[in-house]
Amino acid sequence: MQSSNEEIQNIRIVIIEDDETIRTGYEYMLGNQPGFEVSGAYDSYEAAAAFVFEIEPDIILLDVQLPGKRGVDVIPAIKKKLPAVHVLILTVYESEEVIFAALKNGASGYLTKNISTDKIVEAIYEVMKGGGAMSAGIAKLVMQSFRINHNSPLSKRETEILEAIADGKSRSKIALNLFIDLETVKTHIKNIYQKLDVNSKEEAIRVARESKFI
């Protein structure tokens, strides 16, 4: 577990984005970032699939609006072959359902396309550490998801934080309000994500089981 950003050496990124300008733009911006290496950039999953499993990147930036197979749907295949990779999905307008589906499928986080490169770098670092940003809308969906499952695996603090996020509060604000430090907040969110992952997996199993009974 890394404690500071500087200790991470050479994060290897693969970009899957069909818009040429954006793809080449990210490639340039991230490529010029110290400590980052763009190992590959593809315009479709099919194009990436031939190489990505050999490359074994640390991060995959995945556009949700890909031609051919939907971005959300390829995540499980990627995670199967590369369980350690962090998949960050790229969305235009934070479509909550899409992001939530992606998170349930195993994505580690998401990014809106229009943000600055700095923010992208920050998000990548966070994701590498576990946890990550969560929007208010996402937080709401996460709460709903856990609520459907009667035995909510979230702790009280986690629920508190999740609710605060759902209200739109920033992580630093939350840390201020709860008299805890930012890192703790981030850890909590990471845990929430992990539980969500487990939870989503459990839900998938349950749905599969239920469908057998129908």
Token pair for 16: 């899957």
CB-nearer residue toward other proteins: 85 or 165: 165
DSSP states along 5-57 = GGG---EEEEEE-S-HHHHHHHHHHHHTSTTEEEEEEESSHHHHHHHHHHH--
Stretch touching other proteins by CB under 8 A, among 2-10, 90-98, 142-150, 203-211: 90-98
Residue 132 and residue 126: Cα distance in Å, rounded? 5
Interface pick for other proteins out of 32, 149, 155, 194 (rule CB under 8 A): 32
Tell whether residue 93 is a contact of other proteins (CB under 8 A): yes
Q: Which residues contact 213 (CB under 8 A, 6 or more apart)?
A: none
Tell whether residue 114 is a contact of other proteins (CB under 8 A): yes
Structural contact between residues 87 and 104, judged by C-beta atoms closer than 8 angstroms: no
Count of beta carbons in the 10 Å neighbourhood of residue 84: 8
Distances (CA, A) of 103 to 146, 188, 198: 14, 16, 11
Tell whether residue 3 is a contact of other proteins (CB under 8 A): no
Tell whether residue 55 is a contact of other proteins (CB under 8 A): no
Tell whether residue 136 is a contact of other proteins (CB under 8 A): yes
Tell whether residue 190 is a contact of other proteins (CB under 8 A): no
Tell whether residue 19 is a contact of other proteins (CB under 8 A): yes
What is the nearest approach in angstroms of other proteins to the Cβ of residue 97?
Answer: 10
User: Which residues lie near other proteins (CB under 8 A)?
Assistant: 19, 21-22, 25-26, 28-29, 32, 65, 92-95, 113-114, 116-117, 136-137, 167-170, 172-173
